[in-house]
Amino acid sequence: MITTALRNALRGRGTETALLCHTGAGARAHLDGLPLTDSDAILDLDARVLGEPVKLQGVWERDLGPEAGLVAVVAATTTDLHRSLTAAAGLPRAVQVVVAILDTTGHQEPPLPASPGMGQWRDLQEARVRRVGRRGWLCELFFPNGVETPQVLDAIWSGTRGRRRGPAVAPLAALSGPEAALWRPGDTGAHGVEPAGPVPLRRVTPVGDLALRVGDDTPPGWTDAAVPVLDRRTTSTDAWERIAAPGGGASVRESADPVAEVAPIDELTVNPIGFTKHGDAHWGDLTAADGRAVIRQGKKDLVVVPPDGTITDVDLGRLRHLRGVRVDWSGHGGPTAAVRAVASLAAGGVPLVGGSVPAWAAGLGAPLIDLLLGTTEEDLADPLRREEYSVRLRRVALRTHGTRSRWRTLGARAGVPVPPAPTVSVILCTRRPEMVGFALAQIARQRGVDIEVVLTLHGFPATLPEVAAAIAGFEATGLPLVVREADADRIFGSVLNDAVARTSGDLVSKWDDDDWYGPDHLADLVLARTYSGAELLGVGQDFVYLQEVDLTLWREGRSESSSRFIAGGTILTDRAVLEETGGFRPVPRSIDTQLLIAVMRGGGRIYRGHGLGYVLRRTGGGHTWSEDMAFFLRNRIQQWFGWHPSALLEGEPEPFGRPVTEYTGGLR
C-alpha cells in the first residue's frame, strides 16, 4: 500500500519536484523502484547533517521559501518519525505531504493531524489517514498552496499522543552536524547552523539560546559571542573498530561528567508505557551476532540495535513478554552506543541484569550502574520484585538520560538559565482530626518535588490539641502549609474547589487522609506527566489493605497505560485542566469519578502509573467511594495477612503529633 500510494502521489505531482525521505531501519526499501525524475531526490533523514542546506533542483522559489510538489516521509516507527522532526528543519514547503509509519506498538492513538491554529491550513483540500497492515499508518494531505513540511510532520506525530505535548525542552537549541537530531528529537523549532556559527537572528533575537555541535573531528572556532556553544562527538567516534584501528586516533574519552557526553533518550516514545506485570520465563540477551548488536531470545533476534544505540517504542513492545534482558557488555558497536541502548531499555522499564559493569560504561551514571550491579536473575523470578526493580530502573534512567533532563544539564553547563521545575500543590481535606498527623507525615516525606500543602479541616477547628500538634510538627519541616476550616455542612466538592483556589502550584494533587504513599509517589507522577501526554494522572488500587480482616492484597490491573479509572486519592493534574473541566462537582460523593468523566468528555487523556507506591486502606465505612470487600478480593495476584506493602513504599513514617500505633491500630 505504501509503494502504491507513493506511485500515485508521484503521478499526481505533475512536473513539480518530489523529495522522498526515510528514517529508521527498513524504511528505505519502500522507496526502491519508484518512477523518479532527474529533479527528484531521496534523503536519509538519519544521516542528514544539520546546518547544511537541503539542495534540490527545480523547486519553486516562493515568497515564503522553496516549494516542492511532494514531500514524503517513510518512518519505521513513531520513535523514528519523532526524531526526524528535528532533521526535517530546512525541508522545502510542499503542496502534498505523505507520511507512512511502518509499525507502531498499538497503544498510540491514530495519527490524526490537527491544524496548527493560526490559519495555515485553512485551504486544506483533502486529508486521508489509512491503516497499513496491522499496525502501520499512511497519512496524505493535499494543499492548493504549499505549507511548512515540518509543521505537517509534527501535527501527524502529535496525533498519536493526544492534545497535551508535555513540558517543553529548554533551552532553545541551535544544532550542527551529523546525529544532532539524536540530541533534540522532535524539536521543529531547533535550527541548523554552520559549524563555526553564528546563530541566525529572527529580527534582533537569536533563534537559539545554546548551540550544540556534534561531529567526529575537532570543530572550528566559534564566531558567535552572544550564544554559547557546546561540542559533542558522534556515537561512531568511539566505535570499537576505530579504537582498535592502527593510527585511528579514536579512544574512549574520559570526562568529568560522562553522562552528559551521551545523546539523551527520547522519553516521549521510549518509556514504560505498555509494561506488563507478568513476564514469562524467557530471557533475552543483548549481545553481538553477525557483527551487530541484537537482543536475542534463544535463536530468534527480537531487536536489531542500530550503530547509534537507538531503541524504539516498537523494539520495547517486542520485549514486553520477557522476564528480563541479560546484558553482554562485549556485544556492542562502541561505548557510547552501548550506553544509549542499555539506558533506553532501562527507561522503558525492561528488567536488566548485567553482572559486572565495565569502566567504559560510566556514561550510564552511578545510580543506574548500582541498580544493575545489585540485581540477579533469581531476584526477578517473583513478579512483584520484578516490577519493583523495573520501576527503579525507569525512574533513574528517565531522570538521568531523558531529553529534558539532559538539556537542563547542558544549559547549566553553558550558563543558560532554564525554567524552574513545576511546583505541586497538595490539597488534603479531612473530616477526621485523628488522621491529620498521619496524612501530613505522608506528604512531608515526598522527595524530588517542590510542594506546598493546603489543609482543609472539614467540620472541626485547628485548635484541637491533636490537630495543633500535627500542624506544628509539619511546619517544623519548613514546607509551606495553608490551613483553613470549613463548616461541617459544606458539600465536599465545594470544599475541594475552595482548597484549589488557595493553591499556588503549577500542578494540583489530591490526597486522602488514611491511605499510605511512598516517598516517590508525587515525583513518579510528575515524571509520568512528561511522557504520557495525559491531562490527568494517578495510580490504580494495586495494593489494598482491608483493615477489617487485616489482609493486604496485590491486585491484577494494567499500569503505565491510559485508563478510565484511577484512585481518587492519587489525582495529579494541571491547574488549567481543573479550570477547563469546571473543577470538582459540588456533590457529596463520587467527586473523583465525576472529575474523570469531565476530563474524558473534554477529549482529555487519563493515565495510570504504577501503583507500587500507594496502598488504599479500606475500613468498614466512611468512604466517599463505596465498594464491598468482595470487589477488592476479585482479581488479586497475591495476598498477605497483616500490612504488607510493596518495598517501594519504604515503610511508614511516624505521624506528626502522635505515635504511629495510634493510627494503624497496632499494625506494627
Q: Give the pLDDT confidence of 559-584 residue by residue, as tens digits.
A: 899 999 999 999 999 999 999 999 99
Total number of domains in the chain:
4
Question: Which of the pair, 624 or 321, is modelled with greater confidence?
Answer: 321
Q: What is the mean pLDDT of residues 291-297?
A: 93
pLDDT in tens, 25-52: 999 999 999 999 999 999 999 999 999 9
Tell me, yes or no, whether 389 and 429 share the same domain.
Answer: no
- Characterize 527-536 residue by residue with b for buried, 16 or more Cβ atoms within 10 angstroms of its Cβ, and e for exposed: bbbbbbbbbb
Question: Which of the pair, 219 or 330, is modelled with greater confidence?
Answer: 219
Q: What is the pLDDT of residue 183?
A: 98
For residue 333 the three cell numbers come to 558497536
Is 168 inside any structural domain? no
For residue 361 the three cell numbers come to 560504561
How many Å apart are CA 279 and CA 281, to the nearest integer?
Answer: 7
Is the pLDDT at 629 greater than 60? The verdict is yes
Query: How many Cα atoms occupy the beta-carbon half-sphere of 300 within 13 Å?
Result: 7
Of 16-25, 328-337, 440-449, where does mean pLDDT reach its minimum?
Answer: 328-337
CATH code at position 658 = 3.90.550.10
- Characterize 366-380 residue by residue with b for buried, 16 or more Cβ atoms within 10 angstroms of its Cβ, and e for exposed: eebbebbeebeeeeb
Q: What is the mean pLDDT of residues 337-352?
A: 97
Q: Which domain range does residue 100 map to? A: 2-158
Is the pLDDT at 303 greater than 60? The verdict is yes
pLDDT class of 667 with cuts at 50, 70, 90: very low
How many Å apart are CA 349 and CA 324, to the nearest integer?
Answer: 10
Query: Please, are residues 343 and 258 in contact by the beta-carbon 8 Å criterion?
Result: no
Q: What is the pLDDT of residue 665?
A: 43
How many Å apart are CA 143 and CA 129, to the nearest integer?
Answer: 15
The identity of residue 212, as a single letter, is L
Q: What is the pLDDT of residue 334?
A: 87
The identity of residue 625, as a single letter, is W
Domain boundary among 158, 185, 204: 158
| Vertex 173: Cα angle to 167 and 175 (nearest 5) | 135
CATH code at position 108 = 3.40.50
Q: What is the pLDDT of residue 221?
A: 97
Query: Please, are residues 173 and 138 in contact by the beta-carbon 8 Å criterion?
Result: no
> What is the DSSP-derived secondary structure letter of residue 566?
-
Residue ranges in 415-461 assigned as alpha helix (H): 436-444
Q: What is the pLDDT of residue 247?
A: 52
Q: What is the pLDDT of residue 357?
A: 94
Q: What is the pLDDT of residue 489?
A: 95
Tell me, yes or no, whether 254 and 270 share the same domain.
Answer: no
pLDDT, mean over the chain? 92
For residue 504 the three cell numbers come to 499556588
511: alpha, beta or left? (left if phi > 0; alpha if psi -120 to 50)? beta
Is 406 inside any structural domain? no
Q: What is the pLDDT of residue 522?
A: 98
**CA distances (Å), 136 to each of 129, 132, 273, 413, in order?**
11, 4, 19, 41
Is the pLDDT at 637 greater than 80? The verdict is no
Is the pLDDT at 624 greater than 70? The verdict is no
4's CB contacts (< 8 A; 6+ apart) are none
Tell me, yes or no, whether 469 and 510 share the same domain.
Answer: yes
pLDDT class of 245 with cuts at 50, 70, 90: low
Altogether, the residues listed in the chain come to a count of 668
Query: Please, are residues 454 and 502 in contact by the beta-carbon 8 Å criterion?
Result: yes
Is 413 inside any structural domain? no
The identity of residue 231, as a single letter, is D
How many Å apart are CA 507 and CA 629, to the nearest integer?
Answer: 33
Is 414 inside any structural domain? no
Preceding peptide of 198 cis, ω within 30°: yes
Q: What is the pLDDT of residue 625?
A: 45
Is 412 inside any structural domain? no
Pairing of β 324-327 and β 481-486: unpaired
Preceding peptide of 171 cis, ω within 30°: yes
Is the pLDDT at 296 greater than 80? The verdict is yes
Tell me, yes or no, whether 658 and 576 share the same domain.
Answer: yes
Of 206-215, 236-245, 408-417, where does mean pLDDT reach its minimum?
Answer: 236-245
pLDDT in tens, 497-556: 999 999 999 999 999 999 999 999 999 999 999 999 999 999 999 999 999 899 999 988
* Phi/psi of residue 209, nearest 5 degrees: -95, -15
Tell me, yes or no, whether 465 and 591 share the same domain.
Answer: yes
Is the pLDDT at 275 greater than 50? The verdict is yes
The identity of residue 320, as a single letter, is R
Is the pLDDT at 253 greater than 50? The verdict is yes
Tell me, yes or no, whether 499 and 601 share the same domain.
Answer: yes
Is the pLDDT at 260 greater than 70? The verdict is yes
Tell me, yes or no, whether 435 and 377 share the same domain.
Answer: no
Q: Tell how far CA 98 is from the center of its chain.
A: 27
Q: What is the pLDDT of residue 647?
A: 97
Domain boundary among 258, 288, 316: 258
Outline where DSSP puts E strands in 441-506: 450-458, 481-486
Question: Which of the pair, 203 or 424, is modelled with greater confidence?
Answer: 424
pLDDT in tens, 133-144: 999 999 999 999
Is 409 inside any structural domain? no
